Amino acid sequence: MKIDVDLSDPAFVADPYPVLAELRAAGPMLWHEPTQRWLATTHDAVSQTLRKRRLGRIWTDWEPTDDMEPFNALHRNQMMENEPPAHTRLRRLVAGAFGRGHVERMRPRVEALTARLLDGLSGTADILGDYAEPLPVYVICDLLGVPGDDHAQLRTWSQGIVHMYEQGVGEETKREAITASVAFSEYVAALVAERKAQMARGIRGDDLLTDLIAERDTESGGAARLSEDELVATVVLLLNAGHEASVNVFGNGVHALLSHPAQRDRVLSGVVSVATALEELIRYDAPLQLFERTATADVEIAGTTVRTGEKVACLMGSANRDAAVFAEPDAFDVSRDPNPHVGFGMGLHFCLGAPLARMELEISLGRLLERFPRLALNGVAPRRPTWVLRGFEGVEIDLGEAA
């Protein structure tokens, strides 16, 4: 079935879920004329698309390529935009730092950062800018060995880059992405040069950046496993991905929780654990609404043949509201269990940082509720004018009295 829905329409961006419900009702795979790609609308169609190896992340440089090279290089050389064997090599080099055992060893540091940020809150606060944004940046900076005090600048550069993932990108967005890509790359390259100089003097840090620089391939005579471009792109990806989704999960989730006081009280009373509630926060208002794949060979998805070279846009927020999988899918239910949302993806590109994100979010949400059990929304929270990466500009809350 062919459709021409405008995915950049402000009304859709503000609340995509009624239109997504109509798309699911129309079919699991719909041909979208304006973007010349398939839309996977159901949980099954999205799951198949994410899991089948004939559908991959195939990077295509933005044009004009000379102007867009700083942005293109950051994506061409990172794991998320590559398939095996490049993806396997790049992912393996960082996977250990995000394993469950290593993440659990980071728990005391996350607890300490959370307590410090909470100590700075009182009265009313923007729970995004004052709490949710700094925390994951501090954590990923700790992991990499990057100065955490630069978190505001890193967030600005990240926003400049990720706006390119939206629909109908304009020239101003492209210029901002180029500027951010150049600045971010230069920042990381300077950190790499500084770390290499320290290592040459026999000073070795206990961080992921040092480990990535030190990785050598013994089978190729000690050559670096990462090229300079791959090293910079990998660090930028980790800094971006390490906080962007977490911030929006927290903002969207806390807003939903405080918009449903009865559900909030079930968590506050301990009837529902924070860990269980967190999965509903991820499902209910997905921070990543679209993820694209390209067919490397003809493949069937939900009864539809996708031809070689055709693209499939997985509508993640739609999959998370599929009544075939979720009872009362439009209801916010913190006790929903099991909760097989697609918030962290599936298959080869399943989110490497999922254990870290879950740990951060469980601690930050749980400690916030413990410290300020009477917290409530303070006014209307303004939405970002974006859909693919869905979130708020800020979420102001009245904290009430601390416990």
238's tokens = 């980790």
The sign of the dihedral angle between the CA atoms of 190, 191, 194, 200 is negative
Rounded Cα–Cα distance for residues 94 and 96 (Å): 6
Amino acid at 4: D
* Tokens matching residue 7: 């995915």
Q: What distance, in Å, lies between the first and last C-alpha atoms of the chain? A: 55
**Is there a contact between 260 and 281 (Cβ–Cβ < 8 Å)?**
no
Which residues are paired to 300 by β-bridges? 305
For residue 5, report the phi and psi dihedrals to the nearest 5 degrees.
Answer: -55, 140
Torsions phi, psi for 259 (to 5 deg)? -80, -10
DSSP secondary structure code for residue 362 in this structure: H
Distance between CA atoms of 326 and 285, rounded to whole angstroms?
14
Kindly tell me the burial class for residue 1, based on how many C-beta atoms sit within 10 Å of its own C-beta (0-12, 13-18, 19 or more): exposed
Q: Which amino acid is at 324?
A: A
**Which residues are annotated as catalytic?**
241, 244, 246, 351, 360
374 and 364 in contact (C-beta within 8 Å)? no
